[in-house]
């Protein structure tokens, strides 16, 4: 059985009693957080205690405003994000006449040139370009940046070969595109050889548990294929990959057995207290986010992008979320969480937790939808 499952289950039950039965996450005024979460945000994001507490409340409110604020913008929507300076959700609009309706929801409105639909069309054109003719290795990823109102193509700093130039020429012809090179390196997945943040093993590969679902847990698809056997941290049999997808996607569902049970907890590894999971609201761009993994434990950063396409050596992976959080080999599949809301499972990136880098995760709600799963919540 799980080495600390009983303790985590007790934590989940005791804290869950503070929330009225049946109250949905959207109805809560403030997120109920692990006691150690704010210190971790202070450490990794450079915030004071008061700033960290305020940031969490503001991000929580902004996440819940997104559906209404974007609906108010209608066809004029250019995108949305959390602005730490304003402490509010910001919605980009191409029609100034929509500003009043957006502000009435509690969000800020700013004017832009391109609609979110147009930017998505440009991003889709790049996906089609890469599908028709494999994107060169020097092209790392591409995503819509709502703050800059453009599609950003990330290219390795010194990649100047003709295939890269040709890809960028065709990308620019498809719509508003900006090329970013500074600090960009070739991404890799974060699986590791033998050497919810907890580790698990498939053959000679170590990865990390993402989130408990009823019947098992979700993790990264590149860790193993459907049918693979899973052993837990103590090498006892844990379960089987009931479904797995990589590349194209990077997600998997492990159906557990052998006496292992699930709890709605993400490990803090002693760096912070274990975090309870209460839902899976999507955090806007600009929101702080933390990650738990079996190699580098607990680290935090910010959400940088949504719906980004990553050009791994094994093939492109779509609809990923980019972050400034570091990670290393073995962290694959681990948990990304904002406050008490599950965000996704660690896929890959570049850099490490000594010098920093960039990491992407597969959003949790898509995984739940694909496999018909229910997140285990407190």
CA distances from 204 to 194, 195, 260, 309, 314 (A): 5, 9, 21, 28, 19
CA dist 44 → 59, 291, 299, 346 (Å) = 17, 11, 7, 18
Minimum mean pLDDT range among 12-21, 75-84, 110-119, 344-353: 12-21
Phi, psi (degrees; rounded to nearest 5) at 129: -60, -45
- C-alpha span between 15 and 352 (Å, rounded): 34
**31 confidence band (pLDDT: 50, 70, 90):** low
pLDDT for res 298: 94
Q: Rounded to the nearest 5°, which phi and psi values hold at 221?
A: -70, -30
pLDDT at 30: 60
Q: Is 90 exceeded by the pLDDT of residue 11?
A: no
| 150 pLDDT above the threshold of 70 | yes
Q: Give the pair of three-digit tokens for residue 285.
A: 């761009």
The reply to whether 222 belongs to the active site is: yes
Q: What is the dihedral of CA 126, 128, 129, 131, to 10 degrees?
A: 120
- Asked if 325 and 300 touch (Cβ cutoff 8 Å), the reply is yes
Residue 19 has pLDDT above 50, yes or no: no
pLDDT (average), residues 121-128: 97
Distance CA 39, CA 99 (A): 37
- Helix axis angle for 49-73 and 37-45, nearest 10°, is 90
Mean pLDDT value across residues 282-297? 96
In this predicted structure, the answer to whether residue 305 has a pLDDT above a threshold of 90 is yes
Annotated active-site residue 294? The verdict is no
| Residue among 2, 114, 143, 222 flagged as catalytic | 222
Once rounded to an integer, what is the mean pLDDT over residues 281-301? 95
pLDDT level of residue 33 (50, 70, 90 thresholds): low
Mean pLDDT of 340-346: 97
Residue 134: per-residue pLDDT: 85
User: 83, 145, 198, 250: which one is catalytic?
Assistant: 250
Instruction: Out of 332, 335, 340, 376, pick the active-site residue.
Output: 332
Q: Which residue has the higher pLDDT, 12 or 346?
A: 346
Residue 193 has a pLDDT of 60
| Higher-confidence position of 200 and 20 | 200
Q: What is the pLDDT of residue 133?
A: 84
Statement: residue 47 has pLDDT above 90: no
- State pLDDT tens for residues 263-279: 999 999 988 889 999 99
Query: What percent of the chain has pLDDT above 70?
Result: 89
> For this structure, is 292 an active site residue?
no
pLDDT digits (tens, 9 = 90+) for 206-232: 999 999 999 999 999 999 999 999 999
As a whole number, mean pLDDT of residues 319-324 equals 97
SS (H, E, C) the chain: CCCCHHHHHHHHHHHHCCCCCCCCHHHCCCCCCCCCHHHHHHHHHCCCHHHHHHHHHHHHHHHHHHHHHHHHHHHHEEEEEEECCCCEEEEEECCHHHHHHHHHCCCEEEECCCCHHHHHHHHHHHHHHHHHCCCCCCEEEEEEECCCCEEEEEECCCCCCHHHHHHHHHHHHCCCEEEECCCCCCCEECCEECCCCCEEEECCEEEECCEEECCEEEECHHHCCCCCEEECCCCCEEEEEEEEECCECCEEEEEECCCCCCCCEECCECCECCEECCECCCCCCCCEEEEEECCCEEEEEEEEEEEEEEEECCEEEEEEEEECCCCCCCCCCCEEEECCEEEEEEEEEEEECCCEEEEEEEEHHHHHHHHCCCECCC
- pLDDT at residue 265 in the model: 94
**pLDDT-based confidence at 43, cuts 50/70/90?**
confident
Which residue did the predictor score with more confidence, 25 or 42?
42
- Tell me: pLDDT of 180 over 80: yes
Question: Of 56, 133, 12, which Cα lies nearest the Cα of 339?
Answer: 56
Q: Which residue has the higher pLDDT, 47 or 295?
A: 295
State the pLDDT at residue 10: 35
Question: Is the per-residue pLDDT at 323 higher than 70?
Answer: yes
- pLDDT of 310: 98
pLDDT band at 45 (very low <50, low <70, confident <90, very high): confident
Q: Is the peptide bond before 247 cis (omega within 30 degrees of 0)?
A: yes
* Range scoring the smallest mean pLDDT among 19-28, 83-92, 133-142, 363-372: 19-28
């Amino acid at each position: 059985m799980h080495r600390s499952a009983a303790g985590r289950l007790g934590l989940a039950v005791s804290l869950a009693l503070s929330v009225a039965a049946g109250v949905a996450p959207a109805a809560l005024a403030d997120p109920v957080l692990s006691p150690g979460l704010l210190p971790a945000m202070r450490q990794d994001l450079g915030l004071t205690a008061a700033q960290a507490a305020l940031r969490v409340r503001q991000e929580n409110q902004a996440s819940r405003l997104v559906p209404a604020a974007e609906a108010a913008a209608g066809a004029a929507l250019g995108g949305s994000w959390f602005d730490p300076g304003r402490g509010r959700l910001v919605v980009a609009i191409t029609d100034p006449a929509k500003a009043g309706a957006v502000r009435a929801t509690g969000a800020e409105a700013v004017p832009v040139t391109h609609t979110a639909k147009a930017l998505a069309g440009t991003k889709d054109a790049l996906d089609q370009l890469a599908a028709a003719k494999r994107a060169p290795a020097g092209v790392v990823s591409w995503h819509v940046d709502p703050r800059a109102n453009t599609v950003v193509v990330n290219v390795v700093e010194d990649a100047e070969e003709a295939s890269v130039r040709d890809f960028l020429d065709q990308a620019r012809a498809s719509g508003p595109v900006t090329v970013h090179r500074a600090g960009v390196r070739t991404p890799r997945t974060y699986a590791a050889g033998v050497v919810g943040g907890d580790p698990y093993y498939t053959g000679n590969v170590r990865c990390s548990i993402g989130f408990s679902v009823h019947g098992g847990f979700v993790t990264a698809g590149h860790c193993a294929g459907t049918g693979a056997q899973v052993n837990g941290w103590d090498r006892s049999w844990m379960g089987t990959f009931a479904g797995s997808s990589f590349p194209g996607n990077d997600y998997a569902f492990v159906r557990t057995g052998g006496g292992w049970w699930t709890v709605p907890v993400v490990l803090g590894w002693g760096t912070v207290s274990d975090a309870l999971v209460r839902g899976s609201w999507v955090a806007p761009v600009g929101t702080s986010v933390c990650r738990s993994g079996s190699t580098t434990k607990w680290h935090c950063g910010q959400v940088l992008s949504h719906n980004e396409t990553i050009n791994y050596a094994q093939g492109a992976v779509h609809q990923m979320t980019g972050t400034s959080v570091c990670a290393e080999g073995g962290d694959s599949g681990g948990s990304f969480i904002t406050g008490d809301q599950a965000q996704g499972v660690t896929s890959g990136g570049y850099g490490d937790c000594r010098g920093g880098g960039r990491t992407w995760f597969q959003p949790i709600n898509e995984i739940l939808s694909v496999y018909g799963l229910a997140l285990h919540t407190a």
